[in-house]
Amino acid sequence: MAHDDSQTCACGGNCSCQSEQSAQVYLTPAEYVVRLEQYLADLKAEIVSVEAELATLRAPVGVELREPVRA
C-alpha cells in the first residue's frame, strides 16, 4: 500500500505538526511551578517502581522482596 501524502494527522494538519491548531500555551510562573512539582512527583514514583523491579530481578530465585530497596 502506497503512502498517501494527503492524509491528515490527529492534529488536523498534514503531518509535520506545523498546523495552525498546535498553538503555544503560556503558563504563569505559579502554573509552571505546579506543573514542575507534579512532574517531579511522577519522576520520583517512576524511580521507586524501577528500583522495585531491579530488586526483584536481582533477588535469588525463590526469594520474594516485599518492599522496594531505597537508596
pLDDT in tens, 14-23: 566 655 566 6
Worst-scoring range by mean pLDDT, 4-8, 27-31, 49-53, 64-68? 4-8
Q: What CA–CA distances, in Å, run from 61 to 54, 55, 56?
A: 13, 12, 9
- The predicted-structure confidence for 24-51, as pLDDT tens digits, reads as follows 789 999 999 999 999 999 999 999 999 9
The identity of residue 62, as a single letter, is G
Mean predicted lDDT score pLDDT of the chain: 77
Instruction: Flag whether the pTM goes above 0.85.
Output: no
| Placement of cell 494538519 in the chain | 13
Report residue 15: phi and psi, to 5°: -60, 115
Give the Å distances, CA to CA, from 58 to 2, 32, 49, 71.
47, 38, 14, 15
